[in-house]
Amino acid sequence: VSYGTAGFRGNASGMEYVFFRMGMLAALRSKLKEAAIGVMVTASHNPEHDNGVKLIDPQGEMLAQSWESLATALANVTNDQLIEQLKQIIDSQKIPLSNTSFMLIHVYINNSYKPSSLSLSRAVLDGASAFGATCHDHGLLTTPQLHYILACYNGGDIKVDEEHYYQNYASAFKALLNKKLMNQPVTSPVTVDCANGVGAAKLTKLAERIGANIIDIVVYNDGQSGKLNENCGADYVKVQQRAPAGLNMEPFHRYASFDGDADRLIYYTLDSDCNFILLDGDKIAALFATYIRDNLKKASINLRLGIIQTAYANGNSTNFLINQQNIEIACTPTGVKYLHEKALTFDIGVYFEANGHGTVTFDPNKSAEERFAAKKLKLFLDIINQTVGDAMCDLLAVEAILQDKNWSVKEWYRIYTELPNRQAKVQVADRRIIETGDAERKVILPSMLQPAIDELVRKYPSGRSFVRPSGTEDVVRVYAEANTQENADDLAQQVSLAVY
């Protein structure tokens, strides 16, 4: 097993030992950092039989990359070698064992209770207590809620809890809308597919704190009958390019999907001919970035704004941002840690994966008075969970911008037209023989693969394609885009054959 882009993830049965050892590792990291460490038990958008674990660093950021290999090493030794491996970690990292350690953990279960989560969380707690860690079990939370609570906790607010999160974001949202839209009639509803996951109950609470007179949120797939992430959720909608099963849609109404742990957000609607229209992470990033840029301009504030994308970003979104909007763009490999890190190099960084995971970061040292000058911008940024992509906060941010611009979903999706695209996956004997470079846009090894892809791409107008080994599944992923859906499908298939 290896600590991939999203920690350890796989079939839940037989994974207790990995969770136990991650409890130990979290306790050690806490001693080293002299701060609380977060532990998430979740498999995000994976099917219900999977589970996963990942560690969160003190400010709510992803575990430092140098510790990922320690996690992998610790998870892979035999029981006999465990103590020796722990000693090695303690020595090599110079961990002061006498320090106290704290952990915040959350148990991820869907509404109908994900059975594996309870025993796996227990394994984490057992591992942590082997090093005497004090554990605060926050129970059922979304992933971004735990990131938020951890960052507040380490910032000195040790009493912070879930309610604090709702109060914070509900009042930020109301403050922004009140300024411009006080006494406005209720806007049309937004229907949110919560993937039968933890987001359903949490979004309901947030909506209650804001008030139905301000935002009308209809929760769909709340876990009462359907299965976690089955035929629903952000990943399903994005990859299948279709609505969650059973959802009745009306043209130009607003629909959104979270994934199972509510750190991804995707919007969609129907046009007047009832064609399915997707507004993915790229469209959300474009909406956020242009809104921020316009507000900076209005207040004559000169801050460096950048958008961070991955190879999955639709070619037309990149064209729109660079050529029509003149906004700086950077590209990184897939995985939140890479995007987040890059975003922090800008005064204001907007990062989104096309799959709907993203947020906005801003440099807190960058002129408080300038941020104050753009009052509306400051209020907008208050809605953002800066620690990590947060489906609930991103939903509020989209809704706020649409309100402020007096836009329906129609004006939003028309800012640019996506190139038709297709994602596919290929099973191979060993996906690790594929090595990529240039932010995953080129294959380096095996050396004959990239020339083969280049030759295929040349046959299709506006063609682009790349392949990368998945970090979470035993497959190679293929992405293709072209001028028509037929060509995109064709190109994806040809490239898949080349990989195979």
Q: Which residues are catalytic?
A: 44
Nearest to Zn ion of 44, 359 (CB atom): 44
Least gap, CB of 368 to Zn ion (angstroms): 33
Q: Considering the rule CB under 6 A, would residue 496 count as an interface residue with ligand 16G?
A: no
Beta partners for residue 39, in sequence order: 55, 105
Residue 117 contacts which entry, ligand 16G, Zn ion, none (Cβ below 5-8 A, type-dependent): none
Residue 309, φ and ψ in degrees, nearest 5: -125, 175
Least gap, CB of 4 to ligand 16G (angstroms): 7
Choose which of 321, 464, 477, 492 interacts with ligand 16G (CB under 6 A).
477
From the CA atom positions of the chain, what is the Rg in Å?
22
Nearest to Zn ion of 20, 351 (CB atom): 351
Cβ atoms of residues 149 and 163 within 8 Å = no
Beta partners for residue 7, in sequence order: 4, 5
Choose which of 144, 335, 420, 463 interacts with ligand 16G (CB under 6 A).
335
Choose which of 101, 334, 385, 387 interacts with ligand 16G (CB under 6 A).
334
Interface with ligand 16G in residues 26-65 (CB under 6 A): 44
Q: Considering the rule CB under 5 A, would residue 259 count as an interface residue with Zn ion?
A: yes
455 has binding-site annotation: no
468 has binding-site annotation: yes
Is residue 316 packed enough to be buried (19+ CB in 10 Å), middle (13-18) or exposed (0-12)?
Answer: middle
End-to-end Cα distance, the chain = 24
The distance of Cα 382 from the centroid of its chain, to the nearest Å, equals: 19
* 96 prior amide bond cis, ω within 30: no
Q: Considering the rule CB under 5 A, would residue 110 count as an interface residue with Zn ion?
A: no
User: How far is residue 155 from each of residues 144, 152, 333, measured CA to CA in Å?
Assistant: 16, 5, 30
Distance CA 256, CA 190 (A): 7
Q: Considering the rule CB under 6 A, would residue 473 count as an interface residue with ligand 16G?
A: yes
Which of 280, 334, 241, 315 has its CA nearest to residue 463?
315
Least gap, CB of 228 to Zn ion (angstroms): 12
Nearest to Zn ion of 44, 309 (CB atom): 44
422 Cβ contact partners less than 8 Å away, ≥ 6 residues apart: 479, 480, 481, 485, 488, 489, 491, 492
Least gap, CB of 100 to ligand 16G (angstroms): 28
Q: Running DSSP on this structure, what letter comes out for residue 254?
A: E
Q: Considering the rule CB under 6 A, would residue 6 count as an interface residue with ligand 16G?
A: yes
161 has binding-site annotation: no
Interface with Zn ion in residues 24-53 (CB under 5 A): 44
Q: Considering the rule CB under 6 A, would residue 145 count as an interface residue with ligand 16G?
A: no
Least gap, CB of 38 to ligand 16G (angstroms): 13
- Helical spans, DSSP H, in 357-423: 368-373, 375-382, 391-405, 409-413
Distance CA 266, CA 238 (A): 7
Q: Considering the rule CB under 6 A, would residue 222 count as an interface residue with ligand 16G?
A: no
Q: Considering the rule CB under 5 A, would residue 263 count as an interface residue with Zn ion?
A: yes
Q: Considering the rule CB under 6 A, would residue 385 count as an interface residue with ligand 16G?
A: no
The half-sphere exposure of 45 on its side-chain side, counting CA atoms within 13 A, is 25
Pairing of strands 102-107, 134-137: parallel
Distance CA 164, CA 382 (A): 14
Per CB under 6 A, which region of 80-88, 177-185, 285-293, 353-361 contacts ligand 16G? 353-361
Q: Considering the rule CB under 6 A, would residue 251 count as an interface residue with ligand 16G?
A: no
Choose which of 145, 317, 472, 487 interacts with ligand 16G (CB under 6 A).
472
Residue 471 contacts which entry, Zn ion, ligand 16G, none (Cβ below 5-8 A, type-dependent): ligand 16G
216 Cβ contact partners less than 8 Å away, ≥ 6 residues apart: 186, 187, 188, 189, 190
Choose which of 202, 357, 371, 464 interacts with ligand 16G (CB under 6 A).
357
Cβ atoms of residues 296 and 381 within 8 Å = no
Q: Considering the rule CB under 6 A, would residue 471 count as an interface residue with ligand 16G?
A: yes
**Number of residues in contact with ligand 16G, rule: CB under 6 A?**
14
84 has binding-site annotation: no
Per CB under 6 A, which region of 31-39, 248-256, 332-340, 459-467 contacts ligand 16G? 332-340
44 has binding-site annotation: yes
Residue 199's SS3 state is helix
Residue 353 contacts which entry, ligand 16G, Zn ion, none (Cβ below 5-8 A, type-dependent): ligand 16G
Residues in contact with Zn ion by CB under 5 A are 44, 259, 261, 263
Please enumerate, by residue number, every residue annotated as part of a binding site.
Answer: 44, 259, 261, 263, 353-355, 468-472, 477
Residues in contact with ligand 16G by CB under 6 A are 5-6, 44, 334-336, 353, 355, 357, 470-473, 477
Please enumerate, by residue number, every residue annotated as part of a binding site for Mg(2+).
Answer: 44, 259, 261, 263
